[in-house]
Amino acid sequence: MIKTEIYEQVIFETIKRGATEISKDVKLAFERAIEKETKQDAKKGLIATLKSMEMSKIRENPLCVDTGWPIFYFKVGNECELEGGFMELENATRRAVAKATEKGYIRATMKHPLTGYDPGNNVGENIPNFTYKFVDGKDIEIIYVAKGGGSECFGGTRHKVIAYADGVEGIKKFVVDCFVASTRAGAICPPSVLGVGIGGTANVAANLAKEAACLRTVGSSHPEKAFNDIEKELYKALNGLGIGIMGAGGDTSVLAVNVEYAYTHIAGICVATSSNCMVARRASTLIKDGGEVILQESPTWFDNRS
Amino acid sequence: MAEYHLVAPLKDSDVEKLNIGDVVYISGEAFTCRSRLQKYIFDEKNVLPVSIKDRNVLIHNGPIVVKENGKWKLVSFMPTSSIRFEKWGAKSVDEWNLKMIVGKTTMGKKTMEMMKEKKCVHVSPQSVSPNLWIDSIEVQDVYLYDELGRIEACWFFRLDDIGPFIVDIDTKGNNYFDALEQEVLKKRDEVLKSIGVDPDFEYTELYRER
């Protein structure tokens, strides 16, 4: 049994860490991009961004002012027991989001979609949002993602159902064209971590794309060759467009392209994209059954894909 | 590409000399707005409760500001996407007599036309680096805090040489990103071919798009 006070504190700390600390894999990707960038203005922009991100950890302030939608992924052991049950896990998450907003770790960004009403704490209908995955064991992994508005609203997150006949060529064209459109004037804050979901119903493809963008380790590969080939091809292709940091021209336009898939109805293949902005904020913490807390460098969401 | 260190309030001569691709740093007084403020003023016909006569630098931004020992403290700051304000862009430039808009994603045709007519530029950051800016921004005051909420409110800032920002719309009707887009589109065809995709590939029409 994991006590409420433990998981509530972990959720709060995970939000703080995700919003204010650059992940190790993202930092590594930045260092590589700086090393190979040939356009001086772009190199300066990458260096300034990395420097600011490193300062955020010390100052305990957000890596970017737009901390976006607070979304949570729970990877839960089938035998996991939480004090108060899973409804209390969600209530504790809402309390932690409100507290993190009050402390200034995340911005009060969430509003009523029609009236613009601002609760001031990022808590409202369906927000924060929760996704679960069930695995063997008794532990729970808590993942917080700060999904920024730039990368979500300006064409970085789209879907299209294509005919089976249009196949891989159609999939790749859709991804390239979405990326070209959405990076104009730096709209989605490139260099992006680009997630691609292939197959399933539209919502499944969109969720896979989001998870690929936000939960995969930057620099990881899909274990199946056919999908890893698409990742490698698109990574090279998109970095050949010359879009660069904030779309102002440069050699690095994507930090990673991550593809995930689901089986599909042969009548149509849904292709979805989800872009994460360059700061690619998320944090993951594992709570063991006995209450031991382990800070993870990267989520394990996609370990042991079924 | 030239580099300029400008002091607000800006004069026509300050902005007329700027060309797309130039780099600017800005000092002096500025104010913030987001959609809620423009809707409140232009659609709901309210009046700004304070004069912005000598404040002609607008920053599209929803900052994180907290109160510490009775004083405002800026926690984070990053210019936000300007294109979503396009509906009110021309009106803002005209009625608020703006000389500079700081934002990202540039702006659309209607705003650009007004910017040309009224002599106003749009500038964008080339990094996401709030910590390199917040020490150079003093929070002077806030208006419409209760009416619009913390981030949609109109914040008054005093800037101390913050930048670098790239000029993406100048006073002559040029847009830095339009030119760059043409280069990217040229590369798009080569890039698609390199991964085995015909640049003119046509999708099977599963339904008629309306």
* pLDDT tens for each residue of A37-74: 999 999 999 999 999 999 999 999 999 999 999 999 99
Mean pLDDT calculated for residue range B50-65:
94
Residue B2 touches chain A, beta carbons under 8 Å = no
Query: What is the per-residue burial (b if ≥16 Cβ within 10 Å, else e) of A33-70?
Result: bbeebebebbbbbbbbbbebbbbbeeeebbbbbbbbbb
Residues 72-101 of B with CB under 8 A from A: 75-78, 80-81, 83-84
Which of A64, A169, A249 shows the shortest C-beta gap to B130? A64
Say yes or no for a CB contact (<8 Å) between B66 and A165.
Answer: no
Q: Is B22 on the interface with A (CB under 8 A)?
A: no
Q: Average pLDDT in the A118-135 region?
A: 96
A181 in contact with B at a CB cutoff of 8 Å?
A: no
Please check whether residue A53 is in contact with residue A89, taking contact to mean a CB–CB distance below 8 angstroms. Answer: no
Q: A294 in helix, strand or coil?
A: strand
- The gap between the terminal CA atoms of chain B, to the nearest Å, is 44
B75-127 per-position pLDDT tens digit: 999 999 999 999 999 999 999 999 999 999 899 999 999 999 999 999 999 99
Rounded to the nearest angstrom, the minimum Cα separation between A305 and chain B is: 27
Query: With a CB-CB cutoff of 8 Å, which residues 224-263 of chain A face chain B?
Result: 233-234, 236-238, 240-243, 245-249
The fold for domain B3-194 equals: fumarase (3.20.130)
**pLDDT over threshold 80, residue A305:** no
| Cis peptide bond upstream of B9, omega within 30 | yes
The region that residue A101 occupies, defined by phi over 0 for left and psi between -120 and 50 for alpha, beta otherwise, is: alpha
Q: Is the pLDDT of residue A306 over 70?
A: no
CB B206 to CB A162 under 8 A?
yes
CA nearest B84 in A: which residue? A154
Res. A176 pLDDT band, cuts 50 70 90: very high
> Can you give the residue ranges of every domain in chain B?
3-194
Are the beta carbons of A48 and B64 separated by less than 8 Å?
Answer: no
